[in-house]
Amino acid sequence: MREATGNALLTMMITSIIAVIMIFFVGSISYSKSYKIKNYIVNEIEEYGGWDSSLQASVDSYMKDIGYNVRKDDYKCNRVSNIPTTCKYININSSYDYCVYECKNYYKVVTFMKFEFPVISDIIKFEVRGETNTFNDFNKSN
């Protein structure tokens, strides 16, 4: 009987360790994808010199190619914390899960790291933030 209890405990410990390792692995993959997307959007805004509908179409096409998260709910980017009140949300028509804010002379970009598990994917959503360099000659493209 003692061996059966020992085997059950050992199996539970191994299963728990494997689950923790898998969570870290999935989290690091999700974070790297979100970070890569954020860097891509920031670089495109800086290269293009601002944000407009053609850049949004280009970014959305890239998101589709890379397999980024499609918005499943009506997530409002105005719920993102620590965004200055002088910044306004500008990628309203996108069907992908990212936010671009136009501030006084720069842009802020927020992408989201999500775990694609059935129950916790809607609950756990971490923000990955970035911003462009300051534009000296800032012209609003909208």
Check residues 55 and 73 and name the one with the higher pLDDT. Answer: 55
What is the model's pTM?
0.76
3-state DSSP call for residue 58? helix
Pairing of strands 125-131, 88-89: unpaired
Query: Tens digits of per-residue pLDDT, 64-115?
Result: 888 776 766 556 676 777 788 788 888 777 778 788 888 888 999 888 887 7
Q: How many CA within 13 A on the CB side of residue 9?
A: 6
What band does 4 get if pLDDT is binned at 50, 70 and 90?
low
What is the longest distance spanned by two Cα atoms in the chain? Answer: 78
Higher pLDDT, 116 or 74: 116
pLDDT above 70: percentage of residues in the chain = 79
pLDDT confidence of residue 76: 65
Distance of CA 126 to the CA centre of its chain: 7
